[in-house]
Structure formats: structure tokens, C-alpha cells
A and B are shown apart, each in its own frame.
Chain A
Amino acid sequence: MNTPALKDWPLWEVFVRSKQGLEHKHCGSLHAADAAQALHMARDVYTRRQEGVSIWVVPSVAITASNPDDKGELFDPAADKIYRHPTFYEIPEEVGHM
């Protein structure tokens, strides 16, 4: 008979720092009983070829995500603020790099 699989092992999101000095980057998720096991499994699943020097695991339920339906409301207001970019400003050539 089949036994239940992983019903009660929660999902974790895995973030890996590929190299000292760089940020941790989301690289995937996995099921584990607790944080220590999640770290252990993340090591085996996501860093078999020295892809990382540090791992974070976060319970997936702890992540609050923005709603895709709010995309316009959240991000569109930035679209017409071109003066936030350096290229908006004209500086005489003789000034050189600024």
C-alpha cells in the first residue's frame, strides 16, 4: 500500500549566495520537516557544484507577495518620473564623465 508522502512537511524557499560579496538569490523551493533539515536538503539539492557559500531557507508561508492585479497601481506611477534617471539631464560634453 502507498503511504502518504509529504503531507506535513512544509514548503521552504531557498536563497543562495553564490559568492562572498553578492546577495542571496532565490533559487527554488523544497519540502522539509524543519529549518535545519531544510538547510541540509538545500545544500544537497541546490549546491552540488559549489553554487553557493551561504544558504537561507524561509518558510514559504512567511512570504507576502504583491498581487499581480495591483501591478499597475504599484509600479506604473514610476513610469513618468523620468527625471529619476541620470540620462534625463544634459551636461555639456566638456564636463566629461559625471
Chain B
Amino acid sequence: MIANYGYKDGSGEFYISIDTDKCTTCSEKGCLESCPGQIFEMMVDDWDDEVAAVKASERNKIKMTCAACKPTTGRPELLPCQAACKPRGITHSW
């Protein structure tokens, strides 16, 4: 399943997509530790798989939380969360 967490508001679209099929193959769960904003958590989804998700309390703030990782100039090719996710299951829409 592709889970898109985030929002679209007047200022743009801000979504973090997690390919949860990759989570079930992942042993390291690098997303949890790597994110300075600590926005990820593991949860058991409705089909009983343990997958990563963006915390409910963080979903509507990701544009702000991720700001520090996304400087206007000199943004790294892979964001910390993407680099730490070994199966490459995380993408950002902005």
C-alpha cells in the first residue's frame, strides 16, 4: 500500500509517501531514528502488518517540521529519512 501522509493547503501540496509493502521487508526501521523531527512511528495496520506511518500529531505540520531538512539552497539529494530507509520506501512530494 502507498500511504500518503500530509496535506494540500493554499500554499501547496505537502505529502510524504510510504510504500508500506517495503516496510514488511525492512529489518532496520531506519526512519524512526533518522528523522530529527521524530515524525515516524511503527504501527500495526488494518491488515495486521507492522508498517511505518507518520504520527497523527505530525501529519498536518510536515511542511514546517521538514523545513530544516530542506534548505532553500543546498538541499541534499536524499533527505535523512530517505537515506536511512534501506528499501527506499519514502518519497516526498515537495
Co-complex (A, B): no
| B contacts, CB < 8 Å to A | none
